[in-house]
Amino acid sequence: MIEIGILGAASIAKNRFLPALEHVPNVRCRHLAVREESERSLAMAKEFGLHVTTGYESLIDNPEVDALYLPLPPALHFEAAMAALEAGKHVFLEKPLTLNGEEARILLKRAQKKNLVVHENYMFLYHRQWTKLQQVWQDLAPGPLRLIRSSFCFPKRGPNDFRYQKDLGGGALLDAGGYVARAALDLLEDPKVLSAESFVDPQYGVDTYGTFTLSGTKGELFQGFYGMDNAYQCTLELHGARALLTTDRIYTSPPEHEARAVSSSPKGQEEVSLGADNAFAQSLAHFCTLMDAPALRLKHHQTLLRQQALLDELRAASKGNKPCRK
């Protein structure tokens, strides 16, 4: 039984992490550490039977705990994850892994040295629709893949949300663009950045939307769009020479949602079920698998490093941000 503790009474911990635990038989959570006790942390503790302590160090240093879940604002990820590794704990880290590639390099090097896992929770990769979609695509005999388009955007959240605060690691590239970049990394071999643009809201001083184009080694293109002050979109489209496949809930499909895709090919148009899944539970189960699989763990850490480097490349290619259109 793996004992995992939580740092921070985050919404995602309450809404997704804790409910997912009942679907992962070898993991349990009995401890929550918070900066200060609050109504939210007390309610969470009551609902899930957690023991709450004040100060994150109280849990980082707790010898009963094997792993830590870190659903913190991005600017705190590196320091908290390093402290967890130093204390000998595996780290289940919310996305984005770190603020930049340099932090990721130091963190993952430390994890390798200590034989510990760092996992970034891009849970969509573990939802069954992700592999099913790729099977459906191959079955369509689509011919050469020419273009992938993907977007992940959501409407503006409250002004106090960390996503709009620069010093907490806010910004749409890290919060929403990371999903789209991670999808590109999984679907294309060695993607290269052709162009990128990001747009800043002067009220917050962070990028609120952006777009990029990548190319794969076989000449395929990937066009990404992301934003956190937009109409909701969560799409992936695969365009081949002879077929098209589209989905509309690729990154955030909740456990009760049956994911679907629509294909167009010479056979006509067809709607296909991609199934329902608890992607959070699958991501947690993968985290546990990595604990006892050093070769897989190394490969996993290398992919995380590449993901963070790709975000750095996108930021650099934006060549300074443009003001957003309001």
Ligand X SMILES: NC(=O)c1ccc[n+]([C@@H]2O[C@H](COP(=O)([O-])OP(=O)(O)OC[C@H]3O[C@@H](n4cnc5c(N)ncnc54)[C@H](OP(=O)(O)O)[C@@H]3O)[C@@H](O)[C@H]2O)c1
Contact 117, 304 (CB under 8 A): no
How many angstroms separate the Cα of 118 from the Cα of each of 13, 69, 76, 111, 146? Answer: 18, 10, 15, 7, 34
Of the pair 28, 35, the CB lying nearest ligand X is at 35
Nearest distance from C-beta of residue 194 to ligand X, angstroms: 27
Residue 67 tokens read as 């792993």
Q: Where are the alpha helices (DSSP H) in 144-259?
A: 172, 178-187
Side-by-side strand order, sheet with 206-215: 268-275, 259-265, 244-247, 233-240, 145-153, 221-227, 206-215, 192-201, 322-323
Going from the C-alpha of 321 to that of each of 101, 200, 209, the distances in angstroms are: 19, 6, 10
Residue 34 beta carbon to ligand X: minimum distance, rounded to whole angstroms: 4
Contacts with ligand X, residue ranges (CB under 6 A): 8-12, 34-35, 41, 71-74, 76, 94-95, 121, 123, 162, 168, 175
Whether residue 166 lies in the annotated active site = no
Q: Minimum distance between the CB of residue 242 and ligand X, rounded to whole angstroms? A: 34
CB-based burial label for 53 (10 Å; 0-12, 13-18, 19+): middle
Q: Which is nearer to ligand X, 13 or 243 (CB)?
A: 13
Neighbours of 138 (CB within 10 A): 8
Amino acid at 146: R
CB of 288 to ligand X, least distance (A): 17
DSSP-derived 3-state class of residue 310: helix
Catalytic residue among 14, 89, 95, 322: 95
Query: Among residues 43 and 106, whose Cβ is nearest to ligand X?
Result: 43
Can you tell me the distance from the alpha carbon of 77 to that of 322, in angstroms, rounded to the nearest whole number? 27
User: How far out from the chain centre does Cα 312 lie?
Assistant: 16
Task: Supply the minimum distance, in Å, between the C-beta of residue 294 and ligand X.
Answer: 25
Shortest Å, Cβ 23 to ligand X: 16
Which of residues 164 and 199 has its CB atom nearest to ligand X in the complex? Answer: 164
Residue closer to ligand X, measured from CB, 17 or 137: 17
- Tokens describing residue 171: 């910004």
Q: Output the CA torsion sign for 147, 275, 290, 8.
A: positive
For residues 34 and 311, which CB has a smaller minimum distance to ligand X in the complex? Answer: 34
**How many angstroms separate the CA atoms of 293 and 46, rounded?**
35
Active site residues: 95
